[in-house]
Chain A
Amino acid sequence: MRHLAILFLAAATASCASAPHTLTVSIVSAHSILSAIQDAETPLVCSRPSAPPPPACVPLSLHHQISSDLAQAFDLDGQIASAVRALPPGASAPAFTLNLVAHISSLVSEILSLIPASPSKASLTSHLSELAK
């Protein structure tokens, strides 16, 4: 899990001080990671037709926590994209975006730790590693 969080952080922060284009690629990568988690976790909630049987499914109480974390992460994600969108030509990303990225990274780590181990989770983490490259 830590490995993935590091990949996420690296993808999102690799170029905060460099060209907005490269930073945009990093933002798209970070957004894709959050989106993949949301798309993969929602069908895993216990009692939903698409969910695997316990203990591989996500209990509703954990789903609430994961969804709350995802809502926070997407809010920060949008804030970073808006900040970069507003940069004047030639400017570097403002320093506060690094703090937001670090916060998203910690949320991703927490979310992944809450999803029970299962083949679906293994597939998700493998996919996320690809997205973070």
Chain B
Amino acid sequence: MNPSDLTALLQWIAILPKVISAGAEVFSQIKAVLSTNGIALSQGDLAALDFVIADAARRKAAAESEAKATS
């Protein structure tokens, strides 16, 4: 792991607790971390994509539930 990857990973670890319970606002922080760490961000990129994949699945399920809501 190169130094910039390690920096990105450490920043992700700092943010993840907020990500777990947050709504859309937290994404501006994610974007800021990704944007300020240059091109060599493989660990940070993978963490971001993993989060998007998991959150998209969670939000899809919530939307499907709301599509059947009765009130």
Chain A residues engaging chain B, CB cutoff 8 angstroms: 19-22, 24-25, 27-29, 31-32, 34-36, 38-39, 42, 45, 47-48, 60, 63-64, 67-68, 70-71, 74-75, 77-78, 81-82, 84-85, 130-131
- On chain B, the residues within 8 Å of A71 by CB distance are 60, 63-64, 67
- On chain B, the residues within 8 Å of A70 by CB distance are 59-60, 63, 66
Interface residues on B, range: 20 to 34
Tell which of B27, B39, B62 has the most Cβ of chain A within 10 Å.
B27
Residue of chain B at shortest CB distance from A38: B59
A-B contact pairs, 25 of them (CB 8 A): A19-B39, A20-B45, A21-B38, A21-B40, A21-B41, A24-B34, A24-B41, A24-B49, A28-B31, A28-B34, A28-B52, A34-B56, A35-B59, A38-B24, A38-B62, A39-B24, A63-B66, A68-B67, A70-B66, A75-B56, A78-B60, A82-B49, A85-B50, A85-B53, A130-B28
Secondary structure type dominating chain A contacts: helix
- With A64-B68, A70-B63, A74-B63 already in contact, the answer to whether A25 and B52 are too (CB < 8 A) is no
- On chain B, the residues within 8 Å of A20 by CB distance are 45
Q: Is B23 an interface residue (CB 8 A)?
A: yes
Q: Is B14 an interface residue (CB 8 A)?
A: no
Instruction: Report the separation of the CA atoms of residues A111 and B24 in the bound assembly, to the nearest whole angstrom.
Output: 17
CB-based contact B66/A47 at 8 Å = no
A-B contact count (CB 8 A): 111
**Shortest distance from the beta carbon of B68 to any chain A beta carbon, whole Å:** 7
- On chain A, the residues within 8 Å of B45 by CB distance are 20-21, 24
